[in-house]
């Protein structure tokens, strides 16, 4: 296995119009993959029972990603040591606390030029997801407290660049969600003023993917006390997760498919980027694309889902109407993204690794190639400058 390519040092990240930029004003494209598990009963990123964390990080870098989205649970601040780590493959992580495991993985990611976005995925580590960021005993105060703890712990880690406020808040309306994000974001900036704040969409009941509805953000934006630190982060999926009405498949034709998808991307969240309002980081997207966990074709809707991904990749790369031409001004990067996911254990989508946690899903990486090849600066903050 060859060494990962060296990353170009980067100072603080901020925003300018629809671009994420470094301290010198150069556009940066975040190309992330999610590595989940710390929000589940495992209490650590999955796969550490099968593979060494260093080798997994090397693969992520070699595939062309420059960032990792790390889900965690609010309970991580008090979770006991995890038992899902092989002592031979990962001796320095064995019998360590969830936070200590996260510490080492984050540091090792930085050594490889990989930045990290922390994603508050759930309140209590487990298999059930929360649709409301604030409900019952999980108050706004406790949500703020969790993020203040994480910002104090990781604010000095040079490759930790931001906070994904709460995963898929489908049971909350935009005005309340906007207020929550402003409160959390301002609290985070009290401890980590350089972090980007990633705000997902909300209110899936309106007929959107959970995390995918940002239709109100343009007219009623999130406003943070710290300027130029806001990134909107919709989630967008294809056939593997749910057969939405706008997704074509056998027996369900969609007029002008797949070009019809471009208008949907625009109206749900893409208009924020097209109109130069704010950057977009598609925080989750992915699928089986017809492949099973051993890399064999045969799962349903593979052809249509690959068409969906081709359309999404074109849109993220700057073709806003599907005519094959890039609509971005020269010097601008396309939209940032975080693929879901590395883990083969994701029932909805599978992962970029096969079930053995060793073999790459070559067909998926080939389908992602237009995104991984297209522009994007390597990112790691090794110098800690200021804006």
371: its two tokens: 């995104």
Planar angle of CA 87, 347, 313, nearest 5 degrees: 105
Write down the residue that tokens 């899902």 correspond to: 84
Task: Please answer whether residues 118 and 163 qualify as being in contact, where contact means their C-beta atoms are separated by less than 8 angstroms.
Answer: yes
Catalytic residue numbers read: 168, 284
Residues 141 and 134: their CA atoms lie apart, in Å, by 9
Give dist(CA 220, CA 84) in Å, integer. 44
Q: Where are the alpha helices (DSSP H) in the chain?
A: 53-63, 98-111, 140-154, 174-189, 260-265, 271-274, 302-316, 362-373
Place of tokens 């940066």: 28
With 0-12 / 13-18 / 19 or more C-beta atoms within 10 angstroms meaning exposed / middle / buried, residue 268 is: buried
- The CB density around residue 129, as the number of other CB atoms within 10 Å, is 13
């Amino acid at each position: 296995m060859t060494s990962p390519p060296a990353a170009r040092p980067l100072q603080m990240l901020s925003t300018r119009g629809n671009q994420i930029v470094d301290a010198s004003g150069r556009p940066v494209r975040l190309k992330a993959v999610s590595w989940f598990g710390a929000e589940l009963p495992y209490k650590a990123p999955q796969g550490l029972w099968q593979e060494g964390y260093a080798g997994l990080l090397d693969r992520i870098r070699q595939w062309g990603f420059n960032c990792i989205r790390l889900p965690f649970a609010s309970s991580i601040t008090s979770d006991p040591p995890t038992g899902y780590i092989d002592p031979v493959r990962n001796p320095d992580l064995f019998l360590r606390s969830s936070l200590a495991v996260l510490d080492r993985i984050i540091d090792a990611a930085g050594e490889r030029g990989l930045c990290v976005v922390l994603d508050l995925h759930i309140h209590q580590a487990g298999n059930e997801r929360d649709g409301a960021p604030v409900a019952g005993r999980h108050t706004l105060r406790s949500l703020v407290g969790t993020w203040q703890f994480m910002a104090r712990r990781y604010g000095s880690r040079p490759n930790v660049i931001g906070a994904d406020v709460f995963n898929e808040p489908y049971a909350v309306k935009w005005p309340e969600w906007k207020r929550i994000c402003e409160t959390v974001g301002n609290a985070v900036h009290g401890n980590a003023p350089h972090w980007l704040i990633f705000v997902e969409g909300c209110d899936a009941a309106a007929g959107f993917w959970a995390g995918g509805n940002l239709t109100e953000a343009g007219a009623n934006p999130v406003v943070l006390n710290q300027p130029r630190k806001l990134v909107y982060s919709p989630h967008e999926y294809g056939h593997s997760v749910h057969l939405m009405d706008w997704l074509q498949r056998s027996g369900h034709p969609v007029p002008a498919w797949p070009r019809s998808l471009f208008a949907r991307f625009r109206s749900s969240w893409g208009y924020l980027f097209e109109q130069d309002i704010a950057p977009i980081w598609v925080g989750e997207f992915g699928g089986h694309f017809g492949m099973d966990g051993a890399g064999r074709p045969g799962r349903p809707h593979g052809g249509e889902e690959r068409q969906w991904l081709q359309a999404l990749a074109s849109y993220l790369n700057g073709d806003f109407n599907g005519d094959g031409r890039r609509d971005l001004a020269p010097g601008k990067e396309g939209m940032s993204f975080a693929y879901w996911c590395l883990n083969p254990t994701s029932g909805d989508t599978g992962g970029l690794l096969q079930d053995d946690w060793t073999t790459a899903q070559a067909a998926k990486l080939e389908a992602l190639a237009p995104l991984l090849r297209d522009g994007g600066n390597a990112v790691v903050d090794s110098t800690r400058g200021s804006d």
